[in-house]
Structure 1
Amino acid sequence: MLASLASIFSLMLSTLLMMVAFGLQSYVVPVRSVAEGWSTQTISLIATGYTVGFTLSCIVTPRFVLMVGHVRVFVALITLLSIGILLCGLVVDWRAWMLFRTVSGFAIAGSYLIIESWLNERVTNENRGSVFSIYLIATMVGTIMGQYLVPIGDPSNTSLFILCGVIFSISLLPTALSSSPLPAPPRQASFRLAALYRRSPVAVVGAFLAGALSGAWLNLGGVFTQRTGLTTAQGATLLAAVLIGSALSQIPIGRASDRMDRRLVMVFCGIIGTASCIAMTFSTGAEPLHLYLIAACIGSVIFPIYALNVAHANDLAQPDEYVEVSSGMLIVYGFGTISGPLAVGPIMERFGPASLFATLAVYFALYAAYAGWRIMRREASDGMVAKTDYQAMPPQPLGGECAAPAAAGTMQQELGEEPLVADTTSPTWRS
């Protein structure tokens, strides 16, 4: 285990530094947008550019890697990340920012792809889960650290934007100078959304709603903190509370879903999310500690639910279909993240910042209701195949789902788990 960690230390360091810059970027952009007096609807359009770029990268980046290799693409993508945030500080216009954020979304998704492909090449089945757990911690710790850099600077000038660009550039060095062997080129996975929906409607609909929830929160949560009068330090703590809640709940939710019908866990998570968001809606202006606790409850379900849908979709797939399922789920999730800011931004503009959580409560309620309806439509024991392992995921799906390494035959190998082989003699169960 220690030998494996030593061989990927530079990769982990690059990841940590990249996520520090990512956390800083994801908070300073909405803070500066509010300071410029832009409407919430305008800010949501800027956010949509990021989600479009992120989704597009998962389709396009593997082709670039096939042409020129991992390292060259990684260098180019980190350079784009630095350029994107520096241009935001240089050209303060919302139309330009929408383009710059599209570039940033494209570059960050591609960077995840490179890092995770490299990780998969350097670990074994025996330590894969442990290494990816450390990787997950690095992404969350880095994001939180970056958010806490905002209070030490002034978002109204270029200092924080320059700092973010510098950190992105520094994150390139450990991996670019690493002597570790290069990973095998990935192959582009095909996806058939109609077939995926016919196989498991609850997984597809749930992935879309999970994307809408995370897209709205990740891009408009910072706007909420500013519109409600929280200081940048208090806002950073609120955002961090959501991530901490997510980190603490991943394992309990995963274990529960491995031991019972995953749809029941989806219903439970939807109920928790609905109640927590309603509580936050009526707690605007309360003591910060009260808000932090509610935010942690929201975080405990807002990010893990996508992993539930991915695991459920793979429960119904054959081993040679995991990559195709993974790609299709990511595209559905991407559509959800695009729709989230577009739908919630105008609502916040008209009804105020608290309406963010009122809208999220509606999404959570739909998530729980649809899973409950599918339970009534089909029994879990009716033709159910063997379960795949639940895989904990960071705040947004990372690059492991964009494409599969050539040596990896299943989604679990991509994400760090040795798969359970499905019972191919059982009929396909549609939930």
Structure 2
Amino acid sequence: MIDSIRAVFSLIASFFILMTGFGLANYAVPLRALGEGWTATDIARIGAVYSVGYTLASFVTPRFIRATGHVRVFAANIALMVMSVLLCALVAEVWAWMLFRGLFGFAIAGTYMIMESWLNEKSTNEYRGSMFSVYMITAMAGSIGGTYIAPFGDVMAPVLFIIAAIILVSAVFPIALTAASTPSAPTGVGFDLGSLWRRSPVAFAGTLLSGVIAGAWLNFSAVYARLSGLTETGGANLIAAVTIGSIAAQFPLGRTSDFIDRRMVMVFTCALGIVAAGWMVLLDGRYEYQLYIAACMIGMAIFPIYSLNVAHANDMAEPGEYVRISSGITVLYGLGIIVGPLLAGEAISFAGPRGLPAILLVFFAIYAGYASYRIMRRPPAVRNAPPLS
């Protein structure tokens, strides 16, 4: 496995830088929206259009990859993200931000497809869960770094957006300058959701539901923190606690899933999310440190379930199918992150900040129930994970 990580080190380095910029932008955007006086419904609409762009990438990006290669498309997506962030700093109108965030969603989804198909080609089934854990740990570590930049600036000023753009464009360098071999061109440029369903119903449903959960959290975590009575630093601490929980759980969960039925690990992860979300429903800013602990626990569930689903979906794939599968996963995840912010916005409008953990609890429960049902219906894939070396 160590040799596999060395083979994609430049990819991991670029992804870390990218997610640092992403974390800063994703924290600053909703707080700037609140500062402009926009409603939770406005923020939800912006998040939904972001998700539409995210979903559209699954139709377009594979064709670009096949025509020009992974590295060129990666650079183009970085350019789109930088444009989006800078335009948000220049124009503060809801309709404009819907467009700008839609572009950002399109670009980040295309980048994820490139990263994940690249990792899948360099991974084997015995190590796939572990490799995707490293991938997600990198994402979370970068994101937490970006989040902690935000309190040092004013979200109503353009400086934080400019810093985010500088960090994002810096992500080009490790991949652009790598001497490592790039993935082969995909054999197909479309996606087949029916095939993905037949291959793994759990990965199909789980990717959709994990998109709902992540979309709700990513678009409303900063809003939740503010409405719960936390300061900007407290909000950053809350998001950092979620990220720390995710980092702490990613590799143990991923490595465990290389040895046992991945679906059992998914059910355990969802159970942890149910407990944590239920606890958060009972808390507010007066219980700041308890809120951080609950957030750390929920972080152990929100993001690891995505990497578990990706690994599960790719266990039976051939090398030329990775981009096609990644496209299908992007469509499902994108549909989820369209629905998630809309549901979270309505839940917060109805129940206040407690509406966010309440909606997360509901979808963790649905996910755990379906995965448990599938465990009883189909035996696990056979894998024999060798020791780390």
Letter in 2 for 1:268: F
Contact 1:62 1:187 (8 Å CA) reproduced: no
Counterpart in 2 of 1:221? 221
| Whole-angstrom CA distance in 2 between matches of 1:320 and 1:137 | 24
**What is the match of residue 172 of structure 1?**
172
Change (3 A) 1:388 1:196: farther
Q: What corresponds to 1:347 in structure 2?
A: 347
1:2-401 map, 5 Å: 11-115=11-115, 135-178=135-178, 183-198=183-198, 200-313=200-313, 317=316, 319=318, 323=322, 325-375=325-375, 378=377, 380-381=378-379, 385-387=381-383
TM-score, normalised with respect to structure 1: 0.78
Q: CA separation of 1:138/1:36 partners in 2, compared to 1, >3 Å: closer, same or farther?
A: same
Query: What residue identity is the alignment partner of 2:242?
Result: V
Q: Structure 1 residues 258, 117: CA separation in 2 closer, same or farther (over 3 Å shift)?
A: closer
Alignment gaps of 5+ in structure 1: 390-416, 418-431
Q: Provide the rounded CA distance (Å) in 2 between the counterparts of 1:193 and 1:104.
A: 24
TM-score of the pair, normalised by structure 2: 0.85
When residues 118 and 351 of structure 1 are mapped into structure 2, their CA distance, relative to the original with a 3 A threshold, is closer
C-alpha distance in structure 2 between counterparts of 1:177 and 1:360, whole Å: 41
| Partner SS for 1:37 | coil
1:19-41 alpha-carbon deviations (Å, 9 max, x no partner): 21111001000111111121111
Q: How much does 1:51 deviate?
A: 1.8
AA at the equivalent of 2:369: A
Code of the residue aligned with 1:27 in structure 2: it is: Y
Question: Take 1:359 and 1:266, find their aligned partners in 2: how far apart are those partners?
Answer: 19
Change (3 A) 1:82 1:310: closer
In structure 1, C-alpha distance between the alignment counterparts of 2:84 and 2:256, rounded to whole Å: 41
Deviations 1:159-191 (A, max 9, x none): 111111222223334443455555543444543
Contact 1:25/1:164 (8 A) holds in 2: yes
Query: Shift of the alpha carbon at 1:107?
Result: 1.4
Equivalent residue letter for 1:143: S
Q: Which has the higher helix share?
A: 2
Deviation at 1:368, TM superposition (A): 1.9
Deviation at 1:272?
2.0
- Cα deviation for residue 341 of structure 1 reads 0.8
After the TM superposition, which of the residue ranges 54-63 and 77-86 deviates more from structure 2? 54-63
CA distance in 2, matches of 1:262, 1:79: 36
How far 1:237 moved relative to its partner?
A: 1.6
Residue of structure 2 equivalent to 1:401: none
Query: What is the deviation of 1:120?
Result: 7.3
Q: Partners in 1 of 2:258 and 2:15 — Cα distance? A: 29
Deviations 1:265-294 (A, max 9, x none): 333333221121111011112332211110
Tell me the distance in 1 between the aligned counterparts of 2:311 and 2:4. Answer: 27
Partner-residue secondary structure (3-state), 1:154: coil
Q: How many angstroms does 1:131 deviate by?
A: 7.4
Change in Cα spacing, 1:86 to 1:179, as seen in structure 2 (3 Å) is same
Q: Report the AA paired with residue 167 of structure 1.
A: I
1:59 and 1:188 in contact (8 A); partners too: no
Tell me: CA distance 1:5–1:192, structure 2 relative to 1, closer, same or farther (3 Å): closer
SS in structure 1 at match of 2:92: coil
Q: CA deviation at 1:156?
A: 1.1
For residues 159 and 275 of structure 1, do their structure 2 counterparts lie closer, same or farther at Cα, with a shift above 3 Å needed?
Answer: same
What RMSD in Å do the two structures reach over aligned CA positions? 3.3
Residues 97-123 of structure 1 deviation map (CA, whole Å, 9 limit, x = unaligned): 1110111111122234445666778x6
Question: Is the partner of 1:354 in helix, strand or coil?
Answer: helix
Letter in 1 for 2:32: R
Task: State the 1:358 CA deviation.
Answer: 0.8
**Cα separation, partners in 2 of 1:187 and 1:150, compared to 1, 3 Å:** farther
Question: Cα 1:9–1:365, aligned 2, differ >3 Å: closer, same or farther?
Answer: closer
Separation in 1, partners of 2:265, 2:120:
29
Offset, 1:205: 2.3
Q: Is the 8 A contact 1:39 1:349 kept in 2?
A: no
Unaligned runs of 5+ in 2: none
* Matching residue's letter, 2:68: V
